[in-house]
Structure formats: C-alpha cells, structure tokens
Amino acid sequence: MTTRRLSEFGNFKCFKSRCSFRSLTTLSALAACAAALAVAPTARAQSCVGDLNGDRIVNGSDLGILLGQWEQVGPGDLDGNGVVDGADLGIMLGAWGPCAVTVPSWATLVEAMPDPAVVTDSTLRAAISASGMAWRVLDTATQMEMLLVPQGTFTMGCTASNAFGCVSNENPTHSVTLTQPFYMGRYEVTQLQWVVRMGSNPSSFQGYSDSANRPVEQVSWTTVQGYLSATNLRLPSEAEWEFACRAGTTTAFNNGSSDDPTVDTIAWYGSNARNQTHAVGGK
C-alpha cells in the first residue's frame, strides 16, 4: 500500500454500507486515495450541552440521568451551581434533539449525518454521530467531496477468501486503533482536479468525452508530493486506508468470503472495465 507507487493501487469505493475493492490487474490502476484526505483530520467536535451519555443527541436517556441526580451533585448540573435542579432541566429541554455537528474550517457542509438508506450499518452510523463531526463536506479549496471516517479499532491484515489466500507481507493480522476521526475523498482524484493544480496531465486515458472526470493515473508517490503541497492535503496512512475501505467488515469481501456475484453493478474491475478507467462515481 504505502510502500507502492500510486499507479499500482487498485480501484475502490467506500462509505456506502460496505466497501468494494477489486484489483485492476489489466490496467495501470487508479490513484485511488491520491491526495484525497484533509490535512486537518483531527478537528474536534463542539460540546453538546445536555448530552449526558455522549451519544450526540439530547433525549429521554439524558433526561433519565438528570432526574436520577435530582438535588444532588453530578453531571446533570449543567449550569455548574452545585446541584441538579430545575434550571438544569430547563437547559436540557432547550437543547433537546440532535447535537450540532462541527464543520471543519476548511470545508462547507454537504450533509450533517448519513442517510440510513446509504449507510445501513447502525454501528457505523452511531460512530459517525458520536464523533460530532459532519458526515459529508466539501473541501473549499479543491471542491473535493470528503466523507468522515470515525475513529475505531479494527483487525488489520489479509483475510483469505474461498478462492484466494494471503501473501506473506499481508500478515500477521493485528489489532489497530485509530484514535481520531479523519476525512477522506469520496472519489478518486480526477484528471481535471490534477490539471488545475499541476498544469499537465500524466494520464493514459485522455481524449474521451468524460476524461476530465476519470481518475488521474500514471503518477508516482514522488509526483503526488507536489499535488499535496499545492492542495494542503495528504495521503492516508496504510492503516487509515484499510480501515476506511473495510467499513466495519472483517471478511475478505464486502459480502463475505466468496466474490460478490453482483460486482459488475458496484465496481469496475478486470472483467468489465474494458482495459480503461471510467469516470468517478459511476459505481
């Protein structure tokens, strides 16, 4: 991953309910993660008065905690006067509902919280909500759409499928904890986004009607450094990339240990890509 040239990366898409990943063995693969991560990934969420259980919503659960501490000292003392009383109840009722999300200073808001029809994993939605950060934002400088990846712990390394085993440098599996949320580009960096900053296009697949929206390729780790400097972005670490792409799964593929029979509908790969890249966001 991070030790390879970017032109060796496979194509991937994340942040639906699952992540699809297929290697494009017949292509110079896409710069899938290239420069698509905000340089300030650890911005912290604003506080949420009245959210006593930390789930980023002020509701009956918090009210129960407050009433259980009535006329006592405890976290329910929202105004800090030394006792939980009617004033604190008023503060809580005034803050009732979802907590406000934090939008990074470098971004504009697209969508505060994920649509359950898109991010179907309730655990993942809860982690996004608990972070206090906006789910979808637009990087103001580059107009790249970024998606939040919440902090968490996962098992890093290869998981064998029914058809394919693991190679030695993908093992042993080990537990990794990412302690801060971060933002990653929703799509690969396009040829147009690259040209705007770099002034030239190294990609092989030029001259098509949709070339501007196809991923930039034929770029090395060294070449990308200039783009990162120009956009104030960075590449994800190997652990960040794998955590994002797994999207909460532990199996070899998004659907389990067997290759997904519906892969044609969710990803470009060797059998359907026609030996070329395609516009981002199409699958």
Instruction: Give tens-digit pLDDT for 5-36.
Output: 233 223 333 333 223 322 222 222 233 333 33
Report yes or no: 11 and 153 within 8 Å, Cβ to Cβ. no
- pLDDT the model gives residue 257: 80
- pLDDT the model gives residue 270: 87
Give the whole-angstrom CA distance, residue 209 versus residue 226.
27
The residues near 273 (Cβ < 8 Å, ≥ 6 apart) are 24, 26, 27
pTM above 0.95, yes or no: no
Give the whole-angstrom CA distance, residue 27 versus residue 238.
22
For 202-224, give the DSSP string: --SS-SSTTGGGSBP-S--HHHH
SS3 233: strand
The structural domains of the chain, with segments of one domain joined by +, span 6-43+101-266, 57-98
159 alpha carbon, distance to own chain's centre = 21
Report yes or no: 233 and 194 within 8 Å, Cβ to Cβ. no
- Other beta carbons within 10 angstroms of residue 196's beta carbon come to 13
Report yes or no: 116 and 68 within 8 Å, Cβ to Cβ. no
Using CA atoms, how far residue 57 sits from 6, 49, 102, 204, in Å, is 41, 10, 14, 49
**Chain segment 76-122, per-residue pLDDT in tens:** 999 999 999 999 999 999 999 988 889 999 999 999 999 999 888 88
Of 124, 130, 148, 128, the residue nearest 138 (C-alpha): 148
**Chain segment 189-240, per-residue pLDDT in tens:** 999 999 999 999 999 999 999 999 999 999 999 999 999 999 989 999 999 9
Give the whole-angstrom CA distance, residue 48 versus residue 94.
12
* Radius of gyration of the chain from its Cα atoms, rounded to whole angstroms: 22
- Other beta carbons within 10 angstroms of residue 130's beta carbon come to 18
Of 215, 192, 189, 220, the residue nearest 204 (C-alpha): 215
Please state at what angle helix 86-94 crosses helix 60-68, rounded to 10 degrees.
170
